[in-house]
Amino acid sequence: MRIKEKKMNKIAIILLLIVSANAQSTKVKRSVSATTNIQAGSNAYKLSGTVGQNAIGLSTKDQFKISSGYWGWIARWAVLGTDDRNVIPSEFKIKPAYPNPFNPSAKIDMEIPDAGVVQITIYDLLGRIVLDHKKEYPSAGHYQFVWNARTIAGQQLATGTYIVTVRHKNNFNTQKITFLK
């Protein structure tokens, strides 16, 4: 039995040497390269290759894996504490209010590309202004506005749908939110 094992080991080593030699001498006639922004936490990125390729990778929601040629795993990293909020926004964006419907408060996340005044106006369905909020933001960044369904005077509003407008310089965003008691 030991003789068979030794022969098998020798055959395996010879095969590895042959395959390794062939893999190193393989030339890629065409290659494709692409660059893009990939958000951590998404599963939109997958890179794979062919036998003899130096490295391939696979990103999933919570980890990143690098493979060596022949798809052998050589490393694995977990994505820890990534924060897109550290990236300075390049354009004005207002994300949908959440939760919606809400009780007791709704949050609106804003991406502001430069310093300036942001005006948030909330209307009832009759077109009356129930809240007019202006704030100077000293720099570009990610900000959050929290509304607790109260008027300018601090009175609690009735259950219903409200229109929220957000203005920053020449940018304008409108959305509907619903308050439920």
Query: Tens digit of pLDDT for each residue in 23-34?
Result: 444 444 444 444
Work out the number of other CB atoms within 10 angstroms of the CB of residue 112.
23
| Percent of the chain that is helix, strand, coil (3-state, to 5) | 15, 40, 40
Mean pLDDT, residues 94-122 taken together: 94
**Nearest-CA neighbor of 73 among 62, 65, 61?**
65
Whole-number pLDDT of residue 87? 80
More confidently predicted of 153 and 69: 153
- 32-88 per-position pLDDT tens digit: 444 444 454 455 445 444 455 554 555 555 555 555 444 444 444 444 555 565 688
Max Cα–Cα distance, the chain, nearest Å: 92
pTM (whole model) above 0.75: no
Domain boundaries, the chain: 41-82, 85-179
Q: Which residues pair with 73 in a beta bridge?
A: 67
In contact, 139 and 117? CB cutoff 8 Å: no
- Whether residue 126 has pLDDT greater than 80: yes
Q: Which CATH class is domain 85-179?
A: mainly beta
